[in-house]
Amino acid sequence: MKVVKSLLLGTAAGLIAVGGAQAADLPVKAKAVEYVKICSLYGAGFYYIPGSDTCIKLGGYLRAEVALNAGGNYSAQYNGVFAANNRLTNYYSMRAREDLNIDTRTATEYGVVRTYFDAVFTWTTGNYVGTGSGTGATAYSATTAGTSNLNPTDGGISGGSLGVYYAFIQFAGFTLGKSVSQFDAPWINYPGNNFDQLVGGSGTTNGVPQISYTADFGQGVTATFSVQDQTQIFQTNIWNTAGMTTTGVLGGAYGSSDFGGTRSPDIVGAVRVDQAWGLFQASVAAHDNHTGYYGATEVTGHPEDKWGWAVQLALSIKNIPTGAGDVINVSGVYTEGASRYNFQELAATSYSMFGSSNAAYQSIGFAGVSDAVFGPGGQLELTKTYGFRGAYTHNWSPYWNTALYGAWAAVNYNSAAKGLICGSAAFATLTGTCNPDFNIGQVGVITRWTPVKNLTFSADFVYSHLDQKYSGVITTPALTSVAKPAATYELKDQDTYSLLLRAQRNW
57-69 pLDDT, tens digit each: 999 999 999 999 9
Task: Give the number of other CB atoms < 10 A from CB of residue 415.
Answer: 8
The band of 269, judged by pLDDT with boundaries at 50, 70 and 90, is very high
Read off the DSSP letter of residue 117: E
Angle at 294 between CA 291 and CA 299, to 5 degrees: 105
Q: pLDDT digit string (tens) for 114-125?
A: 999 999 999 988
Spatial separation of the C-alpha atoms in residues 328 and 318, rounded to whole Å:
7
Q: Global pTM?
A: 0.88
Angle at 192 between CA 186 and CA 197, to 5 degrees: 85
Mean per-residue pLDDT for 422-430?
Answer: 96
Read off the DSSP letter of residue 484: B
Task: Give the number of other CB atoms < 10 A from CB of residue 377.
Answer: 10
Spatial separation of the C-alpha atoms in residues 288 and 164, rounded to whole Å:
26
> How is the chain split among helix, strand and coil, in percent rounded to 5?
10, 50, 40
> So what's the pLDDT on residue 131?
78
Mean per-residue pLDDT for 251-271?
Answer: 96
For residue 18, pLDDT beyond 50: no
For residue 234, pLDDT beyond 80: yes
Q: pLDDT digit string (tens) for 181-191?
A: 999 999 999 99
The band of 141, judged by pLDDT with boundaries at 50, 70 and 90, is confident
Residue pair 97/72 in contact by the 8 Å Cβ criterion: no
Distance of CA 343 to the CA centre of its chain: 11
Could you please report the per-residue DSSP string of 45-106?
A: T-EEPTTSS-EEEEEEEEEEEEEETB-TTS-BS-SGGGGS-STTS-SEEEEEEEEEEEEEEE
The residue count for the chain: 507
Task: Give the number of other CB atoms < 10 A from CB of residue 18.
Answer: 10
> Closest Cα to residue 102, out of 55, 52, 50, 44?
55
Cβ neighbours of residue 196 under 8 Å, at least 6 residues apart? Answer: 73, 74, 75, 189, 205, 346
Measured over all CA atoms, what is the biggest interatomic distance in the chain, rounded to whole angstroms? Answer: 109
> So what's the pLDDT on residue 30?
57
Mean per-residue pLDDT for 229-254?
Answer: 95
For residue 502, which amino acid is it? R
Mean pLDDT, all residues of the chain: 90
- E-strand spans in 109-207? 111-124, 127-130, 138-141, 160-171, 174-179
> So what's the pLDDT on residue 154?
34
For residue 15, pLDDT beyond 90: no
Residue pair 363/85 in contact by the 8 Å Cβ criterion: no
Q: pLDDT digit string (tens) for 436-491?
A: 999 999 999 999 999 999 999 999 999 999 999 999 999 999 998 889 999 999 99
Mean per-residue pLDDT for 35-62?
Answer: 93
Calculate the CA dihedral of residues 418, 343, 281, 57 and round it to 10 degrees. Answer: -160
Calculate the CA dihedral of residues 193, 194, 198, 202 and round it to 10 degrees. Answer: 10
> So what's the pLDDT on residue 345?
94
Task: Give the number of other CB atoms < 10 A from CB of residue 302.
Answer: 16
53 versus 19: which is more confidently predicted?
A: 53
Task: Give the number of other CB atoms < 10 A from CB of residue 13.
Answer: 10
Spatial separation of the C-alpha atoms in residues 253 and 392, rounded to whole Å:
35
Could you please report the per-residue DSSP string of 356-413?
A: --SSSSEEEEEEE--SEEE-TT---EEPEEEEEEEEEEEESSSSEEEEEEEEEEEEE-
Spatial separation of the C-alpha atoms in residues 365 and 442, rounded to whole Å:
16
Residue pair 272/222 in contact by the 8 Å Cβ criterion: yes
Q: pLDDT digit string (tens) for 149-176?
A: 333 333 334 457 889 999 999 999 999 9
For residue 20, pLDDT beyond 70: no
> So what's the pLDDT on residue 149?
35
> So what's the pLDDT on residue 142?
60
Q: pLDDT digit string (tens) for 297-320?
A: 999 999 999 999 999 999 999 989
Report CA-CA distances (Å) from 422 to 174, 350, 384, 416.
47, 17, 18, 10
Percent of the chain at pLDDT above 90? 80
Q: What are phi and psi of 68, to 5 degrees?
A: -95, 130
Q: pLDDT digit string (tens) for 351-395?
A: 999 999 999 999 999 999 999 999 999 999 999 999 999 999 999
> So what's the pLDDT on residue 31?
58
The band of 128, judged by pLDDT with boundaries at 50, 70 and 90, is confident
Mean per-residue pLDDT for 429-434?
Answer: 96
How far does the chain reach from its first CA to its final CA, in angstroms? 63
> So what's the pLDDT on residue 144?
40
Q: What are phi and psi of 397, to 5 degrees?
A: -165, 180
> So what's the pLDDT on residue 264?
96
